[in-house]
Amino acid sequence: MALDPQAANVIDLIVKSGRPPYHQLTPKDARQMFRETRPASTPPAPQIGAVRDVLTEGAQAIPLRVYRPPGVSDSRRLPVLVYFHGGGWVIGDLETHDVLCRQLTAEAGVSVIAVDYRLAPEHKFPAAADDAWAATRWIAAHAAELGVDADRLAVGGDSAGGNLAAVVALLAREAGGPRIALQILLYPVTDLVSESQSYADLADGYMLTRDSMRWFRAQYLAKEQDAADWRVCRRRWSSPPATTRCVTRAKPTRGGCGRRA
């Protein structure tokens, strides 16, 4: 697998740093390492408008961060992207993906609402999926006070967050709403039932390793049978809404791909 030189440089930097792989850490330490190392690869944050943290109401209060583009009045209801961060359902939070959410807000001119769903292993499957769905419904129900338009709502996420976005889109279809206009899946995790050939071909040396992927899976699933649940098994997915799917060639969970960028 020929890596882009800049991508190869990222891996070289990680190797030279001597930092341990995630699967050799406790979840708590893995979260801390992710949080601390993130800024080294993150670009400067663009200027945007208001940013505020809110909590959903209900039995399980879920922290959200609401971003608005610059130069937009508070009264104007904007299209909204509900965003779920990546991190194997174990690591990541509102801070680790703050700059990306600001980039999306500034460049798309929409409101982005990031969801701080519960993490494993303290909260096993399907807690993250439950939170993602509950947060999306709450956002749609409280669109006016959040300054967004529930009729122009997209969901998206990277890695495990891509999995959650896909689950939310399918749940919304089954429930008859909220209407999801678009799902954005960045190198999503779509199958925990079995390991594809790429788990062997790209097991190590390409950022996300086979052993770390197995570790994330073990942290998330409560029991082995959970791997067959439709929420982590794309073979049981059908008729999703409009989708933009961005994938990479060099990772263990690589699947089928469309056109190349």
- Pull the structure tokens for residue 71: 């130069």
Binding another protein by CB under 8 A: which of 25, 186, 192, 232?
186
CB contact at 8 A, 92 and 116: no
Binding another protein by CB under 8 A: which of 54, 99, 141, 203?
99
- Residue 240 makes contact with another protein by CB under 8 A: yes
Binding another protein by CB under 8 A: which of 22, 25, 67, 86?
86
Residue 144's identity, in one-letter code, is: A
Question: Among positive and negative, which fits the CA dihedral 96, 100, 101, 106?
Answer: positive
Direct distance between the N- and C-terminal alpha carbons of the chain, in angstroms, rounded to an integer = 17
- Residue 30 makes contact with another protein by CB under 8 A: no
Closer residue to another protein (CB): 231 or 245: 245
CB contact at 8 A, 168 and 130: no
In the complex, least distance from residue 34 CB atom to another protein, rounded to whole angstroms: 10
Pairing assessment for the beta strands 51-55 and 78-84 based on DSSP bridges: unpaired
Which residues bind to another protein, rule: CB under 8 A? 2-4, 6-7, 9-11, 13, 38, 40-44, 79-81, 86, 97, 99-100, 103-104, 107-110, 152-154, 156, 158-159, 181-182, 184, 186-187, 206-208, 239-251, 253, 256-261
